[in-house]
Amino acid sequence: MALPDFTLSAGPVSVTARTLAGLSQPMLYHYDPEFKAAFVRTQDKVAQIFKTTNDIVLMQGEAIVGLEGALRSLITPGMHVLNLVQGVFGKGTGYWVSGFGAVLHEIEVGYDDAVSPAAVEAYLDEHPEIQMVCLVASETPSGTVTDVAKIGPLCRDRGILTYIDTVSGVLGMQWETDEWGLDVCVAGAQKCLGGPPGVALISVSQKAWDVMYANPAAPRDSYLSLIDWKEKWLGEGRFPYTPSVSDMGGLEAALDQALEEGIDAVVARHELAAEVTRAGAQAMGLELWAVREEILSACVTSIRLPDNFDNAVVRDLARERYGVMLSHGQGAGNLVRLSHMGPTAGGMHSIIGLATLGRTLADLGMPVNIGAGIEAALSVLSAQRK
């Protein structure tokens, strides 16, 4: 099959020419002074987008290596952990939490809904034994967000650790690691930042390091070890293993572009793209997946499909017939996702996604008003650009 004309997926996303150039720099030895300096600069730039003075660890591998490594490092056998579940990634965190030996507590809602700060507060009031709260800031498969701005501080004020999957959160929403008192945050390069999949971006508070060091079960001398990164690289300037040299070049290029554009401007661009996409989808007669508008994420719009339209069939046809790669719900439900993430957040990308989805559904026999949808989306886009 030919390559797609447009990749409008929920990560990895299309990257800019400048990011591609960053990925094709000379293959330096990892102890070359130039590479070491670039690694340190890149950590500082990640700290800027996280808005933190905490340590930054750049684990080499997709975000999952950071999520798993951090959680294994934090979970002390018998620890009481409250996990918030509103989607596939949150559910997966829970399997890890109990698998790694903690006592799992969960607040779970439908995958088209969000756990409220009030529910978290009430649970913590009733369960003073909770030592850590785990949550997913942006449930990418369902296109919903969790209110980290409220839940973070309420955990911090009670001295409870927070472990946050913000793989598609950072740059796709307002993000304040320090102001919200977040202990461990893990982001991915290949989502709203528009970088390559291959590096996990992690911030670690002093409190989190203290817990890891006191934890006999924390991985050491292991690919999953955060302590190795703290002691060897941050402490002694020695890498625990060879970093992914090319990915680091792409990551720094993507960070430079985000910082030059401005963090607030990048977030605003995602929000505007989401507004265009939602307006178009609804005017077309499609139903948004999320049950409430306040919980919609800005990086992806999930659209609910009727039972007789299989999301896999829709996605395959869009790719085959129109050369546009869309995403499915990764098990969240029968939905299809129009992503507006990284370089695809903005301008006509949403229009292409809407037109593709609309026509694909029409081809499969669903009554959709494609014209009205495109018209509505363009009206929002045009008003934004005035």
Ligand X SMILES: *Cc1c(COP(=O)(O)O)cnc(C)c1O
**Shortest Cβ 311–ligand X spacing (Å):** 17
End-to-end CA distance of the chain: 40
- Segment contacting ligand X (CB under 6 A): 38-46, 59-67, 102-110, 213-221? 59-67
Residue nearest to ligand X (CB): 140
Q: Does 28 bind ligand X (CB under 6 A)?
A: no
Radius of gyration of the chain (CA): 21
Whether the CB-CB separation of 325 and 6 falls below 8 Å is answered with yes
Asked if 165 is part of the footprint of ligand X (rule: CB under 6 A), the reply reads: yes
DSSP single-letter state for residue 173 = B
Torsion angle, alpha carbons of 356, 357, 363, 366, to 10: -150
Q: State the maximum Cα–Cα separation within the chain, in Å, rounded to a whole number.
A: 63
Return the number of the residue (62 or 275) whose C-beta is nearest ligand X. Answer: 62
Among 136, 182, 187, 303, binds ligand X (CB under 6 A): 136
Task: Decide if residue 62 touches ligand X (CB under 6 A).
Answer: yes
Of 134-142, 201-209, 314-322, 354-362, the segment contacting ligand X by CB under 6 A is 134-142
Q: Is 64 in the site for ligand X (CB under 6 A)?
A: yes
Beta strand spans in the chain (E): 6-7, 55-60, 80-85, 103-108, 132-136, 138-139, 144-145, 161-165, 184-188, 199-204, 287-288, 300-304, 324-325, 327-328, 335-339
Q: Name, in order, each residue with C-beta under 8 angstroms of 103's C-beta and a sequence gap of 6 or more.
A: 78, 79, 80, 81
Q: Which of residues 140, 146, 311, 360 is near ligand X by CB under 6 A? A: 140
Structure tokens at 67: 């999520």
Site for ligand X in 71-110 (CB under 6 A): 89
Minimum CB distance to ligand X, residue 112 (Å): 16
Residue 68 as a binder of ligand X (CB under 6 A): the answer is no
Is 188 one of the binding residues for ligand X (CB under 6 A)? yes
Q: Which is nearer to ligand X, 54 or 297 (CB)?
A: 297
Residues in binding contact with ligand X, number by CB under 6 A: 13
Residue 145 near ligand X by CB under 6 A: no
Q: Which of 23, 49, 56, 63 binds ligand X (CB under 6 A)?
A: 63
Residues 77 and 115: their CA atoms lie apart, in Å, by 26
Give the binding site for ligand X (CB under 6 A). 11, 62-64, 89, 136, 138, 140, 165, 167-168, 188, 191
